[in-house]
Amino acid sequence: MKTSTRLRASSSSSTPLAHSWTYDVFICYRGADTRYHFADHLYSNLLQKGIKTFLADEVLNRGEELTLPMIFQAIGESRISVILFSENFASSEWCLDELVEIMQCKQSTNQIVWPIYYKVDPSDVRNQHGSFGEALVNHESKFEDDMEKVMRWRTALNDAANLAAWIFGDG
């Protein structure tokens, strides 16, 4: 993770003085797909390099419940967000809400956003095909009275898919 360390050091000098970062990195991931594989390894490697990283399961105390406002706060307090796109990412309303918040922070605080595609094709995210398309069609039927929510998710997916990224595994 030499890249992360180098970028962390170089980006700190360009950090706005008015903003205080609690975390260097926030990891957005679909637990069922990546929690005990890629996300855990990424988290461990970042910590070994001294990079303060937010991974939801790791910051909770036993018995503590994770809430979306708690997650949004962590996103807003992170200098970098890593979005770990995986096969079932778009099936999770929670992941999609996190993604919208990350993309908003990218605009409002110049947060750095690094997408990673784990065993998915970037074009499926961008064009919302495959499992991403199926999930969004399901969300549309579930949220037919709140199509703006689904449109925010679609826009955030497209915007994130247009960023430079890393691809791991066969997509």
Catalytic site positions: 98
- Of the CA atoms within 13 Å of residue 13, those in its CB half-sphere come to 4
Q: How far apart are CA 137 and CA 144, in angstroms?
A: 10
Work out the burial of residue 143: count CB atoms within 10 Å of its CB; fewer than 13 is exposed, 13-18 middle, 19 or more buried: middle
